């Protein structure tokens, strides 16, 4: 070895050692997942799980949206979910449970890819699915993309090497979520081969988290009780895990449906709580509330009539909307926020409904006047949230959004614009 290369190597080792020291001491944070995210909302693209029509408002209170689920997810319902979430005021990232859910469109719309790797499941869930996913990217998705973008002769010349580079780049830009799956009775557990005997004690969870953090370089260690609240047992696991990791973020998910539970998991050491089902409940409640209101008020009530009906019939504190908003410690008055958001849902429903039943032309103006009549402050926040997300053309974001809501309300199955994910898509109104 020459003097030059030996010196270079020694210097490299020193730099690496300083890097490791700095990371251990906490002064260098190379993790691209923000440390200050406290609350992530998980949106399942499965068609039975809907997005509230007032989602741009609700999602203004969360730090980011994770798109993914273990059952009945397809590339098509994932793409539709991302198209809708382009109007959300916070980043939406993609957590695929299968590589084929990653398409050119989801890649463009997602803030980043978050790949699950299960620390206490079958080998298949740690490296098997990932290997298949990488082969799919390298052999199918990336070459298809390059064939589309490059002229034929150039593709034949450099296509293979570019596919190598692009696959490495995609993986480099992805983050890894190292799951500890603790609820054997969940779709996530079935998907990852986790049974009763695989549930980890705090001490073993700590050891696996150390492997994820120091050896696998996973950006997130995710304590997952999907569908059920982990309580004291989860708090013990979180304390053990949070104590042992240097660079990884610690996330908790499962059964968070009120403030106490969210705060308990954050206090036990989670950097972030992930809320799933409780958000989809808001969408189901919107459908029920709108159906009751249509039944009582017909298809074209005034803003004042909507407001009086709401005040007489709905106790905001007891709604699913308030339950979801209470999971976000940053929301000062969840009941007031729930009231405003439900009124916005009603105004959107009644703003678009006359056109959907063929009684008038679609009109953002009608929706805008209903919005300001039911709750002017929340209506302003709603329009601001819509403007903060991406929307079509240069025109009026509300106009664009009303067209989406109308597409959700459309009952023509053949209509290619039909949206299946917005709550109002399941509202049944005679036309
Ligand atoms: C490389 C590319 C493009 C893709 C890789 C795709 C991979 C690695 C997928 C991993 C799939 C896997 C092992 C999933 C485990 C199950 C799990 C932890 C899922 C996350 O939970 P949710 O799917 O949100 O759970 P619920 O549906 O129960 O809410
Ligand atoms: O649906 P819930 O129980 O809130 O769980 C959220 C998330 O951890 C699922 O991966």
Q: By three-state DSSP, how is residue 365 classified?
A: helix
Give the model confidence (pLDDT) of 56-82 as tens digits. 999 999 999 999 998 899 999 999 999
Query: Bridge-partner residues for 116, per DSSP?
Result: 177
Q: Is the CB of 275 under 6 A from ligand 2?
A: yes
What ligand 1 atom has the least distance to the C-alpha of 181? Answer: 18
Q: Which ligand has the minimum distance to the alpha carbon of residue 191? A: 1
d(CA 97, CA 183): 17
Q: Is the CB of 279 under 6 A from ligand 1?
A: no
Give the model confidence (pLDDT) of 22-45 as tens digits. 455 555 899 999 999 999 999 999
Q: Give the mutation target among 48, 192, 277 for probing the ligand 2 site: most ligand atoms within 8 A of CB.
A: 277
| Spatial CB neighbours of 21, under 8 Å, sequence gap ≥ 6 | none
Q: Considering the entire predicted model, what is its pTM?
A: 0.92
Q: Which ligand has the minimum distance to the alpha carbon of residue 67? A: 1
CA of 283 to the centre of ligand 1 (A): 24
Q: Is the CB of 274 under 6 A from ligand 2?
A: yes
What ligand 2 atom has the least distance to the C-alpha of 252? Answer: 8
d(CA 53, CA 29): 37
pLDDT band at 393, cuts 50/70/90? low
pLDDT band at 341, cuts 50/70/90? very high
CA of 99 to the centre of ligand 1 (A): 9
Kindly give the residue spans of alpha helices, DSSP state H, lying in 137-276. Answer: 142-149, 152-173, 187-192, 202-214, 231-244, 259-267
d(CA 278, CA 258): 9
Q: Is the CB of 99 under 6 A from ligand 1?
A: yes
Residue nearest to atom 7 of ligand 2 (CA): 253
CA of 271 to the centre of ligand 2 (A): 16
Q: Is the CB of 69 under 6 A from ligand 2?
A: no
For the ranges 249-253, 297-301, 366-370, 396-400, the lowest mean pLDDT is seen at: 396-400
Q: By three-state DSSP, how is residue 93 classified?
A: strand
pLDDT band at 51, cuts 50/70/90? very high
Q: Which ligand has the minimum distance to the alpha carbon of residue 229? A: 2
**pLDDT score at 234:** 98
Q: Is the CB of 253 under 6 A from ligand 2?
A: yes
Q: Is the CB of 316 under 6 A from ligand 1?
A: no
d(CA 113, CA 130): 13
Q: Which ligand has the minimum distance to the alpha carbon of residue 129? A: 1
CA of 38 to the centre of ligand 2 (A): 15
pLDDT higher than threshold 60 for residue 168: yes
Give the model confidence (pLDDT) of 100-138 as tens digits. 999 999 999 999 999 999 999 999 999 999 999 999 999
Q: Is the CB of 45 under 6 A from ligand 1?
A: no
What ligand 1 atom has the least distance to the C-alpha of 187? Answer: 28
pLDDT higher than threshold 70 for residue 8: no
Give the model confidence (pLDDT) of 143-165 as tens digits. 999 999 999 999 899 989 999 99
| Spatial CB neighbours of 267, under 8 Å, sequence gap ≥ 6 | 235
**pLDDT score at 16:** 45
Give the model confidence (pLDDT) of 188-238 as tens digits. 999 999 999 999 999 999 999 999 999 999 999 999 999 999 999 999 999
pLDDT band at 20, cuts 50/70/90? very low
**pLDDT score at 208:** 98
d(CA 424, CA 406): 9
**pLDDT score at 403:** 86
Both structure tokens of 413: 């199955």
* Nearest residue to 39 (alpha-carbon basis) of 282, 317, 276: 276
Query: Which domains, ranges and CATH numbers included, belong to the chain?
Result: 32-279 (3.20.20.390), 280-426 (no CATH)
For the ranges 236-250, 289-303, 417-431, the lowest mean pLDDT is seen at: 417-431
Helix or strand run (H / E) with residue 116: strand 114-118
Q: By three-state DSSP, how is residue 41 classified?
A: strand
**pLDDT score at 90:** 95
DSSP class of residue 201 equals P
Percent of the chain at pLDDT exceeding 70: 90
Both structure tokens of 271: 């950097």
DSSP class of residue 359 equals S
d(CA 215, CA 324): 36
Query: What mean pLDDT do residues 283-312 have?
Result: 96
CB contact at 8 A, 246 and 264? no
């Amino acid at each position: 070895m020459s003097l030059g290369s030996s010196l270079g190597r020694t210097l490299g080792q020193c730099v690496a050692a300083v890097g490791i020291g700095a990371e251990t001491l906490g002064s260098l944070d190379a993790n691209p997942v923000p440390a200050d995210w406290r609350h992530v909302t998980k949106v399942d693209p499965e068609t039975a799980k809907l997005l509230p029509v007032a989602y741009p408002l609700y999602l203004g209170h969360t730090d980011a949206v994770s798109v993914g689920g273990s059952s009945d997810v397809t590339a098509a319902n994932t793409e539709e979910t991302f198209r809708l979430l382009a109007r959300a005021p916070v980043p939406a990232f993609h957590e695929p449970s299968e590589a084929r859910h990653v398409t050119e469109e989801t890649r463009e719309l997602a803030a980043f890819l978050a790949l699950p790797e299960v620390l206490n499941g079958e080998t298949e869930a740690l490296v098997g699915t990932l290997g298949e996913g990488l082969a799919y990217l390298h052999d199918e998705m990336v070459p298809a993309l390059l064939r589309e973008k490059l002229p034929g002769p150039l593709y034949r010349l450099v296509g293979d090497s570019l596919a190598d580079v692009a696959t490495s780049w995609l993986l480099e830009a992805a983050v890894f979520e190292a799951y500890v799956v603790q609820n054997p009775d969940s779709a996530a557990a079935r998907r990852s081969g986790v049974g009763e005997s695989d549930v980890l004690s705090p001490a073993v969870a700590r050891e696996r988290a150390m492997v994820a953090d120091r050896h696998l370089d996973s950006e997130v260690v995710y304590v997952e009780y999907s569908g059920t609240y982990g309580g004291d047992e989860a708090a013990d696991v979180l304390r053990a895990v949070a104590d042992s990791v240097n660079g990884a973020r610690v996330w908790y998910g499962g059964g968070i449906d009120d403030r106490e539970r969210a705060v308990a998991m954050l206090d036990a050491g989670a950097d972030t709580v992930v809320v799933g089902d409780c958000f989809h409940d808001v969408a189901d409640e919107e459908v029920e509330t709108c159906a009751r209101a249509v039944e009582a008020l017909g298809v074209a009530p005034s803003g004042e009539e909507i407001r009086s009906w709401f005040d007489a019939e709905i106790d905001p504190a007891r709604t699913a909307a308030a339950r979801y908003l209470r999971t976000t410690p940053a929301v000062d008055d969840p009941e007031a926020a729930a009231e405003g958001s439900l009124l916005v849902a009603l105004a959107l429903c009644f703003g678009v409904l006359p056109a959907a039943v063929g009684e008038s032309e679609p009109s953002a103006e009608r929706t805008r006047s209903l919005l300001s009549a039911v709750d002017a402050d929340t209506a302003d926040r709603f329009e601001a949230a819509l403007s903060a997300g991406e929307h079509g053309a240069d025109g009026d974001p509300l106009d664009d959004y009303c067209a989406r809501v109308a597409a959700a309300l459309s009952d023509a199955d053949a209509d290619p614009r039909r949206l299946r994910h917005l709550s109002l898509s399941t509202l049944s109104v005679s036309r």
